[in-house]
Amino acid sequence: MRLKFVRALLILALLGNLIVWHKIWRLSMEQNTLGLLTPSVMTNEHPQKHQQCLGHLVTIVIRQFENFENDVAFMVESVLNSFPGIPILIVCDELPYPPLELDFANESMKNVKLISLKPEFNKSSEERNPLFYIRTKFVLFLPDATRLSNKQVIQDTIAQVSNLGIVIVPVGKIALHCLELDLKVREWSLKIARVMGTECDSVMGKHVTMLEAKILRRLSDPFLLPFTDALYIQTTAIGAKMN
């Protein structure tokens, strides 16, 4: 138990030392691709039973967004229009201000939860833990300003993630870049290299991530910011690859 705790502390310390450098590196690499970002993926329609089936298989998580300028409310409405009843978790370090323009009292929002990770006296640790609310086999992470309307892509991704564990889907027509992470926890070092191929440790470019929920439960802090950078460093630490 002590070894796991020390290992977690080492990973978190490593993340703290590398976040600034990694962000600068990513910004310089992404300057040539920003013009390709598109906010939606178009779709074919499928029967209602497929929508209900997806709701039992997938939980959607929205993790990182700006408080004063975000697209979260429209994202949620868009998802519910395409997938009524699908579980949606909006995870933040503390409750956003101004508040999100979502009516959580509405019946259509019954499966949408806003989760603040900030400790509160009137909430247990379970109530502040997003994993407590994930009852599905798969989790789908959506970046801000994304429209999830392609049901066929989601179904195809589920079929792939069942075999591969973690699957990445580009948003719109943006090109993704596969990265290899050489993580050495004991040495507090992380080397990042761009590689060819479809099996990666991390990915650069706007994308959607689907993975098995059991993988999240193996990580030290699966919702740590910056997201998804911190997520992929942790999945690398346990030897999980993405495709």
Per-residue pLDDT of 52-88, as tens digits, reads 677 789 999 999 999 989 999 999 999 999 899 999 9
Give Cβ neighbours of residue 55 (< 8 Å, ≥ 6 apart): 83, 84, 85, 86, 87, 111
DSSP per-residue codes, 70-100: --HHHHHHHHHHHSTT--EEEEESS--SSPP
* Residues 42, 82: Cα–Cα separation, whole Å: 11
CA distance 178 to 233: 14
Provide the residue type at 95 as one letter. Answer: L
3-state secondary structure of 24: helix
Which regions in the chain score pLDDT beneath 70?
1-52, 149
AA identity, residue 221: D
Q: How many CB atoms lie within 10 A of CB 8?
A: 16
| CA atoms of 64 and 16, how far apart (whole Å) | 17
pLDDT for the residue 52: 60
Q: Which pLDDT does position 226 carry in this prediction? A: 95
Q: Where are the alpha helices (DSSP H) in the chain?
A: 2-30, 48-57, 72-82, 130-133, 151-164, 213-216, 229-237
Q: DSSP assignment of 108-131, as one string?
A: GGTTEEEEE-S--TTS-TTTT-HH
Beta bridge partners of 202: 179
> Which sign, positive or negative, has the C-alpha torsion 195, 200, 202, 204?
positive
* pTM of the complete model: 0.81
As a dihedral over the C-alpha atoms of residue 78, residue 230, residue 129, residue 155, rounded to 10 degrees, the angle is 40
Q: 47-172+206-219 belongs to which homologous superfamily? A: Spore Coat Polysaccharide Biosynthesis Protein SpsA; Chain A (3.90.550.10)
Question: What is the number of alpha carbons within 13 Å of residue 11 lying toward its C-beta?
Answer: 22
Map out the domains of the chain as residue ranges. Answer: 47-172+206-219
